Structure 1
Amino acid sequence: MATTTPPSVGPPCYTSVHTDKTVAHLNTLKDRHPGDLWAQMHISSLEYAAGDMMRKGRKKDKARVSELLQGLAFSGDSDVEEDNKLEAYHAQKKLRLSNVPEKNWTKRDIKPNFPSWLALDSGLLNLKNEKLNPVELFELFFDDEVFNLIVNETNNYASQKNVNLEVTVQEVRCVFGILLLSGFVRRPRRGMYWEISDADQNLVRDAIRRDRFELIFSYLHFADNSHLDQKDKFTKLRPLIKQMNRNFLLYAPLEEYYYFDKTMCECFDSDQFLNGKPIRIGYKIWCGTTTQGYLVWFEPYQEESMVTVDKDLDLGLGGNLVMHFADVLLERGQYPYHLCFDSFFTSVKLVSALKKKGVRATGTIRENRTEKCPLMNVEHMRKMKKGYFDFRVEENEEVILCRWHGDGIISLCSNAVGIEPASELSCSDEEEIHQIAQPSIVKLYGECREGVSKMDQIISKYRVRVRNKKWYSVLVSYIIDVAMNNAWQLHRTCNPGTSLDLLDFRKYVAHFYLEHNNEIVSLIFLWRFCFKCMHCHSNHRMVAESTVKN
């Protein structure tokens, strides 16, 4: 039987691939960036690579190699750019720190050199003499210029949507009356203001038709859509915000102390959260108020702040906002205002910058912003008795830092008030009431810090409840509530002892707008009826005369 020997199987034969250029390119990149991780790989000829290198796969493999080269080159460049940016940032930060002189802290009380507060509020005296009613006080803020702005932009927006709206100022006032009414007469649906029969509902039903209200409310607008600033998140409300800030400042009581803080406008569609406030979800708003809760200036929060300040000061977001508020106050006159704010804003650099402007400042301060002030450690101070405090003054800038043990440990910074005159505070400890020392800086801050909280409390009582589908409708409602709060604050100041409470004040304005529009609607209806009767009478007369002639 013949045996057959199987043919010897040799190694597979591959077509030679010319990869000299590819290898050369890779080695060039390797030599160019020897420190990069991707360039530390061993680069060899593709002749020894695993895979199908036949003629059919050449184009595909060449494309893969080119993509690899591009990816490696771009990734290397981006890494180098990021490293360069990081190095430049650290170098710039180190340069700034090196230019800042070291602080010289001494244990003594502060010696402020600000002038005394002698300002006279002539504007408030004029308001007292004019004896304005609640509607006139409210229209100090929502004046004719603001209402005309709303009417013009609303009609313009409706015309862009091919709707012939032709809303008037009186109709907008009537809409505002319903919004104010919704704060103290609440209904599950706004259509029920025209359904249920009672005194307030009859007032709404007689003032404006429901369909007309819905149409006006849906097209309510405050800016021209063809001239919007895309960098400004609140550009659709910017004209209204500017007008309201101008009017708030114009009629604000001229006081010595102001408080700057943040608050929230309720909106459950927002992703902003603020802990420690009655309303925690909504639009964050920066605001400066008097100690009684009158809002002087406000600005909705956005990532790219629209507040313009001196960038050389390097105060951060909070410091820039406080500096801008100080500039707003100084527009009324170069008075020695005293601003108070919490630890989000306070820094030694900010307090020093305000002092150069002639503005006094006091605020709580965080541990990492004390500029290496050698105050007693917080943990050590907790072991001391209540009423114990430690303090230091910076010799060059005359700024004091004080740490006090009360109900908790609080650290404060000021350029205008220090330790003396110290007062006594009643404190309960384990069922015993005893007196503890309280520095003057702590007492002052405690008296001024309730301004924004008082405003929030007043607004929350009768907040506007009617909303529409536009995202900024909640902010419009908030501005109306703030204007009502400010008007009521002026009313109480101008009429001490005989002022209306907040509910009666708000009801007065709402009923006036609704009743006034009702009278106008009745007059228009009567005029149309009389005109129709006169027209019919003239027709009858012409028929009678023609009959007599015939």
Structure 2
Amino acid sequence: MANERSDSDWSLSDNDFDISQGSESDSVSEEYDVESDSDTDIGDYDHASVWTRAYPPEDISSGTKLVFTERHTGPISVPPRNSQPIQYLYLFLTDNVIDNIVKQTNKYAADVLATKTEWIASHKRSRFRRWNPVTEDKIKKYLGLNLLMGLIRVKDEREYWSTCRETRIPFFPETMSRDDFLLISRFFHVSDSSKVKPRGDPNFDPWHKIRPFLDSCNELFKKHYKPKETVSIDESMIGMRNRFAYIQYMPNKRHSRYGIKKFELCEADTGYVFHIDLYSGRDFYASGSEKGLSHTVVMSIMEKSRLLNKGYHLVTDNFYTKVPLAEALLENKTSLTGTIRINSKDCHKS
């Protein structure tokens, strides 16, 4: 036939194996059994040099195969299709959350103003004189303006209420006065400061100022969604450069290298955030643990998320992936997949 070639036509360059003659071609034929396979046409292969040895798959006994036991995964108790976006926001910003913000903000404002009575009396132009207790409606407006500020960026917060014809943004002064907004920002609270444990106390919480809101979010994340089999844990950053004890620097986070580090458990298919933990240093997060930070983070989040012993498949990067962690998860009927550092002490050299 016209497309048939002689053996001599298959001689490759000096850098490749010479299939037509020589000891190298014998070894290739012996290793890959090219000539003995009557169904294989050597013309189907472009280069002998790109061939690699294929090893048989690992023999995994049926006894170690985990079964995913969760059923009816996905959204739970959500608004009907074509609902307004605000309805989905209210799944997490519930009336209880708003009521708590109103209560704690008014309480904190009353406590602060009670200690500044004489100062306010001697400063007749003080903004504190115009304080009025907030309501549910006013807090919703305040939170809405904060969300809008993320879309409309200006150099100074007061510019949102600018009266300049060229730069004014009518929506802000029509929704809330500048003084009201700044006063709410001054007194905004979600927790009772009078119940805070002092630093050094065994029960001291570094995130006490936002703990009620964070706990509420984590519970509502679980209330309205059941994740599918594959989930992932990784860290992320809330970008900021404020004067704050727990600001972290992560050079590999290009979008924001400075800020508050948080650990998140997300569903792999949709990216839905199922649980959030804030990092406040090893002294608080992994204190007393002999397993190390990465092990403690994963086991703690999986336990808080109530996903252990259900056959879930966790995916992590090489910061978390360790043999002891895989063994601990397997004991809790959870499988682990992830990249691993070649210089890890748990990685056996071969």
Tell me the amino acid that sits aligned with residue 303 of structure 1: G
SS of the equivalent of 1:288 reads strand
The alignment status of 1:119 with 2:71, answered yes or no, reads yes
Structure 2 equivalent of residue 341 of structure 1: 316
Distance 1:252 1:235, change over 3 A: same
User: What TM-score do the two structures reach when normalised by structure 1?
Assistant: 0.44
SS of the equivalent of 2:234 reads strand
Distance 1:310 1:353 in 2: 18
Deviates more, 1:316-325 or 1:262-271: 262-271
Tell me the amino acid that sits aligned with residue 280 of structure 2: Q
Distance 2:230 2:68 in 1: 13
Distance 1:120 1:363 in 2: 27
Distance 1:136 1:307, change over 3 A: farther
Question: RMSD over aligned Cα, in angstroms?
Answer: 2.8
Structure 1 equivalent of residue 293 of structure 2: 317
CA deviations 1:27-54 (Å, max 9, x no partner) are: xxxxxxxxxxxxxxxxxxxxxxxxxxxx
SS of the equivalent of 1:127 reads coil
Structure 2 equivalent of residue 183 of structure 1: 150
Structure 1, unmatched stretches of 5+, are: 1-106, 376-550
Tell me the amino acid that sits aligned with residue 170 of structure 2: N
Is contact 1:309–1:324 with CA below 8 Å preserved after alignment? no
CA deviations 1:236-267 (Å, max 9, x no partner) are: 11111111111122223421111111111112
SS of the equivalent of 1:298 reads strand
The alignment status of 1:296 with 2:274, answered yes or no, reads yes
Is contact 1:309–1:320 with CA below 8 Å preserved after alignment? no
Distance 2:338 2:283 in 1: 22
Distance 1:321 1:129 in 2: 36
Structure 1 equivalent of residue 262 of structure 2: 285
Is contact 1:260–1:340 with CA below 8 Å preserved after alignment? yes
**Residues 447-526 of structure 1: pairs in structure 2 closer than 5 A:** none
Distance 1:128 1:210 in 2: 34
Distance 1:280 1:217, change over 3 A: same
Structure number with higher relative contact order (C-alpha < 8 Å, ≥ 6 residues apart): 1
| Corresponding pairs, count | 265
Structure 2 equivalent of residue 204 of structure 1: 172
Distance 1:205 1:349 in 2: 57
Structure 2 equivalent of residue 268 of structure 1: 241
Distance 1:148 1:306, change over 3 A: farther
Distance 2:306 2:225 in 1: 13
Distance 1:355 1:110 in 2: 14
The structure with the greater share of residues assigned to helix is 1
Structure 2 equivalent of residue 79 of structure 1: none
SS of the equivalent of 2:169 reads helix
SS of the equivalent of 1:330 reads coil
Tell me the amino acid that sits aligned with residue 75 of structure 2: L
Tell me the amino acid that sits aligned with residue 273 of structure 1: Y
Distance 2:280 2:196 in 1: 16
Structure 1: which 4+ aligned runs deviate by more than 6 Å?
Answer: none
Structure 1 equivalent of residue 191 of structure 2: 223
Structure 2, unmatched stretches of 5+, are: 1-56, 114-127
Is contact 1:120–1:254 with CA below 8 Å preserved after alignment? no
Deviates more, 1:176-185 or 1:128-137: 128-137
CA deviations 1:501-549 (Å, max 9, x no partner) are: xxxxxxxxxxxxxxxxxxxxxxxxxxxxxxxxxxxxxxxxxxxxxxxxx
Distance 2:233 2:264 in 1: 6
Distance 1:354 1:283 in 2: 28
Structure 2 equivalent of residue 193 of structure 1: 160
Distance 1:330 1:305, change over 3 A: farther
Is contact 1:307–1:324 with CA below 8 Å preserved after alignment? no
CA deviations 1:84-115 (Å, max 9, x no partner) are: xxxxxxxxxxxxxxxxxxxxxxx944444111
Structure 1 equivalent of residue 217 of structure 2: 244
Is contact 1:326–1:359 with CA below 8 Å preserved after alignment? no
Distance 2:317 2:347 in 1: 20
Distance 1:206 1:341 in 2: 48
**Residues 50-449 of structure 1: pairs in structure 2 closer than 5 A:** 108-111=58-61, 112-116=64-68, 119-121=71-73, 124=75, 126-127=77-78, 129=80, 132-162=83-113, 165-195=132-162, 201-229=169-197, 230=199, 231-269=204-242, 271-278=247-254, 279-291=256-268, 292-304=270-282, 314-330=290-306, 335-369=310-344, 371=346, 373-375=348-350
Deviation at 1:141, TM superposition (A): 0.9
Deviation at 1:119, TM superposition (A): 2.1
Is contact 1:257–1:290 with CA below 8 Å preserved after alignment? yes
Is contact 1:267–1:282 with CA below 8 Å preserved after alignment? yes
| Larger Rg, first or second structure (1 or 2) | 1
Identical counterparts, % of pairs: 26
Structure 1 equivalent of residue 21 of structure 2: none
Distance 2:216 2:333 in 1: 27
User: What TM-score do the two structures reach when normalised by structure 2?
Assistant: 0.68
